[in-house]
A and B are shown apart, each in its own frame.
Chain A
Amino acid sequence: MRRSRLFRRLMATTLPVALVLGSAGTTAVAEPLRGRSMSSYGLAGGIDAPTAEMLPEGTLGATISWSDYGRRSSMVFQVLPQVTTVLRYSRVDGVREFENEEAITDRSLDVRVQLVEEQGWRPAVAVGLQDFLGTGVYSGEYVVATKTVTPRVRVTAGLGWGVLAGKPRLIDASDEGGTPNADEWFRGSAKPFASVSWQVNDRLDVVAEYSANDHIARYNTGQVFQQGKAPDSNLNLAAFYRFGETYQAGLYTIGGNTFGAQFSIMLNPRQSPYPSGLAKAPAPVRPRPAPAADPDGWSGVWSQDPTAQPAIQTALGDAMAKEGQALESMALSPGRAEVRVNNTRYVSHAEAIGRTARLMTRALPPSVETFVITSTAQGIPTSSVTLRRSDIERLENTEAGQIAAVSALTDAPATAPGLVQTDGIYPRFRWSVRPYLSLGFFSAKDGLTYEGGGQARATYTIAPGLILTGAIRQRAFGNIERRGPAIPGQRGRNYTFDEYRDNPALETTPEGVPRVRSDTRMYSGNNKPTIPELTLAWYAKPAPAVYTRVTAGILERAYGGVSTEVLWKPANSPLALGAEVNHVRKRDFDQLFDFRDYEVTMGHVSAYYEFPQGFTAQLDVGKYLAGDKGATLSVTREFANGWRIGAFATKTDLSAEEFGEGSFDKGVTLSIPLGWATGQPTQDRVSTRLRSLSRDGGAQLNVNGRLYDNVRDSHSAKLYEGWGRFWR
């Protein structure tokens, strides 16, 4: 039954109070012990050794730590109240894996799970895996307990294996890494570690720690390297200073002879500077006059006047446009009105629907009792919410669950009898000329990369669902230069741009894999105008829950061709199924209208499922750009405010050797709505995708406008998740 699912979602709104009060200390609810400072590995608590502490659920943070051991850039995400994950990019100094290099760059992934929450005399207990995908310089495991002794003092004691016991695992330099080394976990001798943290005041924290880590890297070739200097003692000390809720700086010493500094940023998606947003107040409900005061309006006689609907539609469309809602079409009869609306402003579709419903009470004659608000995306209707006008009047500004209980969400048919298109909606031409700036943070070879310039972009919507899009881009400055991919077998050396462009034979690796993404730098840093996108897209809805897309033209910076997609997604179903087939050709490196020789037909079938708490999973199975076959699993968590954090992994039939470093493709996606930070109502976002390396295996086509995300915003899971903003 739909209702129970809906109420379960709404019931979720009755939980943590501290979020509203903005202070953690006011509740007696048991929750995982929260760390007050970050370790040099970017997890909560400790310096060089772990603690059992967690971060507030959903926290996303980054820590950069510098010392003689190198530089560690760690990104932390508190996936669940008891589960922390860290993705780390490090430069490890002193490890000469190759003769001519002073350091190695290394990626590592950690996970920490708090098994037992602190309660009464019982400490919080956690277990953790450090650098557990393949054997790396930081590989180790631990079991740790942390106890609050006084409100300001916490003590931690634990047992560590691997580097935490000063017994680093043997690293196989020829291994491509990237797969769990489970057979080594919790093996070998273990050693204890311990720490005490003291919260001096609201800003300052001091930590003292005993750790057995001696910062040595050992290889199976017999080589042993000391990172930085060997610690003089096992005692580490640190002080951390907090700036507001978000920033923290720290200074530490490892063993008395190595000093380090670090800086952390912590963002909690649940804590926005403007939780309700700064959007202007909605127009209030206008209740209907008494029947005696407007007999024509109540009897429906007005509908016989042919000028009535156009006048109402124009007035309603103008009012809705002021609230960022495009009234695309309307069907009006004496008792019922359907509006088809494209929400261009609010992250929460419930807010868009709530505002539209209130404007309808102000514009429609009294006899209209049934309101149908149909959301559209790319000109295609995605779902309908049916409301009774008397419920809107009766329930204005009450708990959002009440209006949810008397609303109905259904699939929207492609068209409905009586629908009249609003004047001036189609065709529609939109254009913009803007600067762009792209930044790269995690390039091992280049450090921080940036590029800026100008981009002109235009979209011409010819008819509902038929959209012509084009863009032209000119770089003005940047430190990304064009170059070919790395020369196989010659570490650190790349083909030059000209060398690679002029020799098509290089576009296949020695293992026989076509270079579909590993030459991505050939497309970067072009000083001449480029065309990032030039497409004609056609969206349609052949059946009530079936959506289709055909996109043709220059699809992305490296490929052009035709992309077709079909998606089945009923508005009330957590399950969706889809299929995509693309025929594409590789673009020339000048990124204009020329193509190179590589051509491929690829695609996949997909299953999507929405779990509670905003989690969605997507499984794609099919053929990738290089012709390799395999599957991609993505798991994303999306908050009602629009924050999205996800991870994906792709494994194809390419062997680890054919794939190269990392063994298989994986990465993290992150998308933050701008309105969360600024309070302004906008659907704009800042998005990024952290993926290990540009590799050829498991490479996906980056076509814009894929159906699932377009369609899902107004479907049950996301709509009801954000329903609390209906009366906003």
Chain B
Amino acid sequence: MMNGALKIALGASLMAVLAGCGNDDRGIGPLGVLAQTAAQTVAQRRAAGDEPPAPPKSPGEAAAEALRVNSGPLIQVGFESLGRTQVMALTGQNGALRTYMTPAEEALILRGGMLVGTRGLGNDLSVAEPATDALIRAGAPGTAPRIMRYYAGDGLERPLQFNCTVGAGPRAGVTVETCQGHGTSFQNSYMVQDGQIAVSRQWVGPALGYVTIQTLRP
């Protein structure tokens, strides 16, 4: 009988054969893509099998470690639909626009803490245009539209427009933005300090749902 490790090794070498070799990665075809994906999975599983899995770090531990090794601005982001929490580091700043990235180069784009885009997540928000921004920062109640533009599956950028109401939340210091449109609704919550959004829970889109964003180091 084949033992598990040998089976996996054989599987991996077969995958390598299927994926081929060369310095030209174009024109690899569906077979190659399937083989590459499978080979990655096998490699990951083998890697996981070789060493005992590290106990998952708690968000608090992860934040403390990131603050220790990275001296730049950091945020901690919980992707509710993906079930993961990650520390993201500032990789670019253009005026008030800040781009934060994970080590895997997935990005969140914020303007003064307000989410205006995501990149590399598969169901990205291209750009958000919240006319509610000033109301939220001022903590003033009112209504304003919010346009969310997405990369649609057909390759176009498609906007959704929502009507939003800004008001005080159930807890002191929390401003709530409730938006409706296209048969759906969502509610963003912001904690504003000196005009900056320090902590928030914001809706990215139909597929990604909500993210919670916490400023670790402004």
Contacts and interface: CB of A to CB of B under 8 A. Distances in A.
Interface of A: 12-17, 19-23, 25-27, 58, 268-287, 344, 347-348, 393, 396-400, 429-437, 457, 459, 639-642, 674, 676, 678-680, 682-684, 686, 721-725, 727-728
B157 interface: yes
Nearest to A454: B20
Interface stretch (B41-49, B114-122, B190-198): B114-122
**Which range contains the number of B residues in contact with the other chain?**
35 or more
A19 B152 contact: yes
B101 interface: yes
B112 interface: no
Contacts of A433: 20-22
Given A724-B155, A724-B157, 17 more contacts: A13-B159, A19-B154, A20-B158, A21-B184, A21-B206, A22-B206, A274-B123, A275-B124, A278-B120, A430-B24, A432-B28, A433-B20, A434-B22, A434-B31, A642-B155, A684-B33, A728-B119
Given A278-B120, A281-B106, A684 B28 contact: yes
B30 A686 contact: yes
9 contacts: A17-B160, A19-B158, A275-B122, A275-B151, A279-B120, A284-B99, A284-B107, A286-B94, A641-B154
Nearest to A362: B92
Given A14-B158, A437-B31, A728 B153 contact: no
3 interchain residue pairs of minimum CB distance: A724-B157, A284-B92, A640-B155
A280 B29 contact: no
B156 interface: yes
B97 interface: yes
B201 interface: no
Nearest to B19: A434
A339 B27 CA distance: 25
Contact of B105 (A17, A281, A430, A725): A281
Given A26-B184, A283-B92, A684-B29, A14 B155 contact: no
Nearest to B99: A284
A186 B131 CA distance: 58
Interface of B is mostly: mixed
B129 A399 contact: yes
A679 B153 CA distance: 10
Contacts of A686: 29-30
B216 interface: no
A162 B215 CA distance: 72
Given A281-B119, A282-B119, A724 B126 contact: yes
Interface string B176-218: 0000001110000000000000000000011100000000000
Nearest to A21: B206
Given A21-B183, A431-B22, A678 B154 contact: no
A171 B124 CA distance: 55
A20 to B, nearest CB: 5
Contacts of B157: 13, 399-400, 723-725
A432 B24 contact: yes
Contacts of A21: 160, 182-184, 206
B152 A20 contact: yes
A277 B120 CA distance: 7
B28 A434 contact: yes
A116 B159 CA distance: 29
A27 B182 contact: yes
Given A399-B129, A722-B155, A728-B126, A287 B95 contact: yes
Contacts of B26: 344, 682-684
A645 to B, nearest CB: 13
Given A274-B122, A433-B20, A397 B116 contact: yes
Nearest to B183: A26
A24 to B, nearest CB: 11
B174 interface: no
B113 to A, nearest CB: 15
Given A433-B20, A678-B37, A684-B26, A639 B154 contact: yes
Contacts of A347: 155
A431 B23 contact: yes
B59 interface: no
Given A26-B184, A272-B153, A434-B22, A278 B122 contact: yes
Nearest to A284: B92
A686 B149 CA distance: 30
A12 B150 CA distance: 14
Residue of A398, A437, A722 with highest tally of chain B CB at under 10 A: A398
B209 to A, nearest CB: 13
B182 A276 contact: no
Contacts of A273: 122
Contacts of B156: 12-13, 640, 721-722, 724
A396 B97 contact: yes
Interface in B59-99: 91-95, 97, 99
B92 A286 contact: yes
A436 B31 CA distance: 8
Residue of B106, B107, B152 with highest tally of chain A CB at under 10 A: B152
B109 interface: yes
A433 B21 CA distance: 5
A147 B207 CA distance: 32
Contacts of B109: 284, 397
Contacts of B37: 678
Contact of A20 (B106, B121, B122, B150): B150
A679 B158 contact: no
Nearest to B121: A276
Contacts of A274: 122-123
B155 A434 contact: no
Nearest to A727: B126
B8 interface: no
Nearest to A345: B26
Nearest to B21: A433
A102 to B, nearest CB: 36
Nearest to A675: B33
Contacts of A721: 155-156
Contacts of A399: 126-127, 129, 149, 157, 159
Contacts of B105: 280-281
Contacts of A642: 155
A393 B151 contact: no
Nearest to B34: A678
A432 B21 contact: yes
Contacts of A12: 156
Contacts of A27: 182-183
A28 B131 CA distance: 25
A434 B120 contact: no
Residue of B119, B152, B154 with highest tally of chain A CB at under 10 A: B154
A727 B182 CA distance: 25
A728 B151 contact: yes
B123 to A, nearest CB: 6
B37 to A, nearest CB: 7
Contacts of A727: 117, 126-127
Nearest to A275: B153
B32 interface: yes
A148 B28 CA distance: 47
Contacts of A15: 158
A12 B159 CA distance: 11
Contacts of A285: 92, 94
Given A271-B153, A281-B105, A725-B157, A430 B126 contact: no
A643 to B, nearest CB: 8
B206 A275 contact: no
Contact of B151 (A276, A459, A680): A276
B144 interface: no
A283 B152 CA distance: 22
A17 B182 contact: yes
A398 B127 contact: yes
Contacts of A678: 33, 37
A642 B155 CA distance: 8
Contact of A277 (B94, B106, B122): B122
A623 to B, nearest CB: 31
A728 B124 contact: yes
